[in-house]
A = this chain, B = another copy of it.
Amino acid sequence: MRRLEPVLILAALLFSPRADADEGMWLFNRPPSKQLKDRYGFEPGKEWLEHVQKSCLRVSTGGSGSIVSADGLVMTNHHVASDILAKLSTKDNDLLARGFFAPTRAEEAKCPDVELLVLWNIEDVTERVMGAAVPSMSTAEAQGARRKMMAAIEQESKEKSGMQSEVVTLYQGGRYHLYQYKRFTDIRLVFAPDKQAAFFGGDNDNFEYPRYCLDVTFLRIYENDRPLRPDHFLKWSRKGCLEGDLVFVAGHPGRTERLFTNDHLEFLRDVQYPMSLLRLWRREVQLATFRGRSEEWARIAEDDFFGVQNSRKAYTGLMAGILDPAIMNEKAQAERRLKAFVWGDGERTAKWGDAWDRVADSQKTATEQYERFLALGRLGLALGSDLCGIAKDLVRATAEKEKPNTERLREYIDANLETLEFQLFSPAPIYPELEVDRIESHLSFMAELLGGGHELLKLALAGRSPRARAEELVSGCTLTEVENRRKLYEGGKSAVDTCSDPMIRFMKSLDPEARALRKLWEDKVDSPQREGYAKLAAAKFALEGENVYPDATFTLRLAYGTVKGYEENGQKVAPFTAIAGLYERCEQRNGVFPFNLDPRWVSARSKLHQDTPFNFVHTCDIIGGNSGSPTIDKKGEVVGLIFDGNIQSLVLDICYTDVQSRAVSVDSRALIEALRNVYGAGVIAEELLGSQP
């Protein structure tokens, strides 16, 4: 499943696609017009682009979505909405497992803390940001000056337009674009299927194909307590798509690493991927153990468990890809070509010749610091616990708010406070048993990473074992009550400084260490990387022309491709599956979990058109974060819903290939069929289709 793992995005690169492949995650203000015309004879006009852009949205849980009716209906994936579904569930009403349907508007359920962002305007602010740094500054100083200017531009934009404003660093510093978003926070749940239908085949079939998943959830945007009447929404295709059709995906790919130097790829291969896997393996086993304790504990840890399994499977594929000599050899060859171009000329060498060394230097620091980086929960000091996250935000926000806006940590500048407060005061439930397990797990992980005698660990454990410390922190914590959070936030730094809540004190004790590491990381890892990659980007522009797209940054992009099967182990894999295949797969595996079916599907069998296309694959260039993106045709109509890539697509993080790699969508026809004939939710189908002439 292509949900984004919630990590800080550190790099945004660029590269030019092969002319003969459907490669690229394109900016809406720099679309792949030439490629589309050359390969498909299609020219998307300005209106087409604006309409698609303003119909799509980013979901704060780490995925994508689109507006699909005149009444603000939003389509995304079940696994993108799973955080919402879990938060709306109770011991006796497990929406995540069983699904939800509101036959009337009045029954739609308000989601506690989800935000939807629609990209409304893009403005190039490169000159202002670049101009903030003067030549006499050091690398770190220049980076600081640019960061301040970005905060100032965002604040100014927010004040003028009232819109959520973000300066996005593209081409690793080659371009800076101001993105203004319409922000929606009154979001209500309309429909979700049972998890078995959404995730049929479970971890076993995840990232596999053929598939039979109805991975969808419908939400609705409200404004002033009424359904939104959007300026733009995507119409629904009545006929769907066919093999060979040109299709598009508009969504928010999270992060790619396609122009990384070989040194940087080796860092991924030897440090980042193995340690990410280590974290995921241990957590998967621990969560499986936790979930075994009772049905209720299984329920409250369900979304964590899915997230960990999903990331583990993705990283396993990435690791396998990066250990494949064929892939690394191709990467090495490309690097040799670029080096020959740069080093073959004195002027180019002078301008860009040291780029690789700069990046390599950053890897040395990153490797040395990686254990601490993970021990401190990466640069955001996130330790995988809701209560830790809340305490950390209270400690940091109150401290940062005492500083001038442009001097603050980026996530606490004024332009971001609205979102911060929305999350911080969320009424979503917090489960103490799960919190203890998460914190114990992180503290043990710290011990394994750093060694039991490390000062940082001693600071965190305060003389206790990981289990005893976690129990002490959670049992004494008052932050489960939203009112207590609000009081501390409003009381500011002095209230936090004198607060005796053990979780607040825990976070206060770790904060200086975490800030010191962040400073070091920004100065010794990020800044030299930005310099190095900016040079590499310039060299690549010079070698290959400017017709390039930047690496993914969890911002809106357009991908295109063809509905097309592939070959695997000498067998043809057809592009479409049909509803009949779902029942066959269930029977083949004797209906045993994760291949069992909800009773609604069992009893609906005879009513369903068995040949209705269910899932299909295409060559669009997508990645984690694209989950929930609409798949649309040339008319801009919805023919599908992205929910996964196949196992061969997992290497797309580092390189595009279309030999076997495929994006996987739910077919729009299966969605209509299931809404009508499985879930008795024909009213939603009519809302989707009602927009048709």
* A270 engages B203 (CB within 8 Å): no
Contact of A452 among B202, B322, B464 (CB under 8 A): B322
Name the CB-closest residue of B to A452: B269
Contact digits for A313-326, partner B, Cβ 8 Å, 1 yes 0 no: 00000011011111
* B324 engages A312 (CB within 8 Å): no
* B203 engages A292 (CB within 8 Å): yes
Q: How far is the CA of A216 from the CA of B594 in the complex (A)?
A: 32
Q: How far is the CA of A108 from the CA of B15 in the complex (A)?
A: 69
Within 8 A of B (CB), among A257-313: 266, 269-270, 274, 277-278, 281-282, 284-285, 288-289, 292-295, 312
A612 at the interface (CB under 8 A from B): no
Q: Which residues of B contact A281 (CB under 8 A)?
A: 278, 281-282, 284-285
* B203 engages A289 (CB within 8 Å): yes
Give the number of times this chain occurs in the complex, counting copies: 2
Q: Which residues of B contact A284 (CB under 8 A)?
A: 281, 285
- Which of the segments A18-26, A344-352, A443-451, A483-491 contacts the partner chain? A443-451
* B323 engages A465 (CB within 8 Å): yes
Q: How far is the CA of A203 from the CA of B286 in the complex (A)?
A: 12
Query: Measured between C-beta atoms, what is the minimum distance from A660 to chain B in Å?
Result: 14
* A277 engages B270 (CB within 8 Å): no
* A452 engages B270 (CB within 8 Å): yes
Name the CB-closest residue of B to A595: B292
Q: Which residues of B contact A404 (CB under 8 A)?
A: none
Q: Which residues of B contact A135 (CB under 8 A)?
A: none
Q: Which residues of B contact A590 (CB under 8 A)?
A: 295
A224 at the interface (CB under 8 A from B): no
Contact of A466 among B270, B294, B323, B468 (CB under 8 A): B323
Q: How far is the CA of A23 from the CA of B305 in the complex (A)?
A: 41
* A320 engages B465 (CB within 8 Å): yes
Q: Which residues of B contact A463 (CB under 8 A)?
A: 325
Query: Measured between C-beta atoms, what is the minimum distance from A544 to chain B in Å?
Result: 28
| Residue of A282, A323, A453 with most partner-chain B CB within 10 A | A323
Q: How far is the CA of A461 from the CA of B322 in the complex (A)?
A: 14
A177 at the interface (CB under 8 A from B): no
Q: Which residues of B contact A451 (CB under 8 A)?
A: 266, 269-270
A-B pairs, top 10 by smallest CB distance, nearest first, are A270-B451, A281-B281, A274-B448, A204-B292, A324-B465, A269-B452, A281-B282, A281-B285, A323-B465, A284-B285
Which residues does A use to contact B, with CB under 8 Å? 202-204, 266, 269-270, 274, 277-278, 281-282, 284-285, 288-289, 292-295, 312, 319-320, 322-326, 328, 444, 447-448, 451-453, 461, 463-468, 589-590, 594
Residue contacts A-B, CB under 8 angstroms, 22 given = A203-B289, A203-B292, A204-B289, A204-B293, A269-B451, A274-B448, A277-B282, A277-B448, A278-B448, A281-B281, A281-B282, A281-B285, A284-B285, A319-B448, A320-B444, A323-B444, A324-B465, A324-B468, A325-B461, A325-B464, A326-B465, A328-B452
